Amino acid sequence: MASVNKVILVGNLGKDPEVRFTPSGRAVAKFPLATTDSWTDQENSRQERTEWHNVVVWGKQAESCGQYLAKGRQVYVEGAIRSRSYDDKEGNKRYITEVVAQRIQFLGGGGGRGASTAAESGGMGSFDEFGGAPVPSEDDVPF
């Protein structure tokens, strides 16, 4: 039986993206993304819970994230959950769960240093997983 590993998040960046390059020259960006749920409890009090997600973006999308995104900016992320382990500076094994983004769409202003809409950013607001090519908007479809 087939399985599905798909995540869709809309949230705000917790800090500016950190962009680095692999030895082969491929860009990778990492940033924390906050999503907040709110509800009214049984005592009619408003409650909130914020979840933090570690987002990883590769290739041209990573470069664009570094250029257009900043702390507080709202973003749509579509991707898959990946877990991995690494050794920290003291040699202890650490585990981390990340969302590896396959599609990023820049949303409203939210304090970012880039343009506030995809149209203002020269069509650079949405990317697919294949090399960071811009995803056409409904206005770009000829029918």
pLDDT digits (tens, 9 = 90+) for 17-68: 999 999 999 999 999 999 999 999 999 999 999 999 999 999 999 999 999 9
**Residue 131's pLDDT band (cuts 50, 70, 90):** very low
- CATH placement of domain 7-38+48-135: 2.40.50.140
Residue range 134-140: mean pLDDT, rounded: 43
Q: Which two tokens stand for residue 33?
A: 């993304």
What sign for the dihedral angle of Cα 62, 63, 66, 69? Answer: negative
Give pLDDT, residue 1.
85
Query: Span 79-95, mean pLDDT?
Result: 95
| Mean pLDDT estimate for the chain | 82
> Nearest-5° angle of CA 52, CA 124, CA 120?
100
| CB-CB neighbours of 30 under 10 Å | 16
- In this model, does residue 13 exceed pLDDT 70? yes
Separation of alpha carbons 7 and 4, rounded Å? 10
Question: Please, which residues bridge with residue 94 across strands?
Answer: 86
Predicted TM-score (pTM) of the model is 0.73
Report CA 127 to chain centroid distance, whole Å. 11
Residue 122's identity, in one-letter code, is G
d(CA 63, CA 31): 13
The burial of 112, by beta-carbon neighbours within 10 Å (0-12 exposed, 13-18 middle, 19 or more buried), is given as buried
Question: What's the pLDDT at 21?
Answer: 96
pLDDT for position 108:
79
Per-residue H/E/C for 15-57: CCCEEEECCCCCEEEEEEEEEEEEEECCCCCEEEEEEEEEEEE
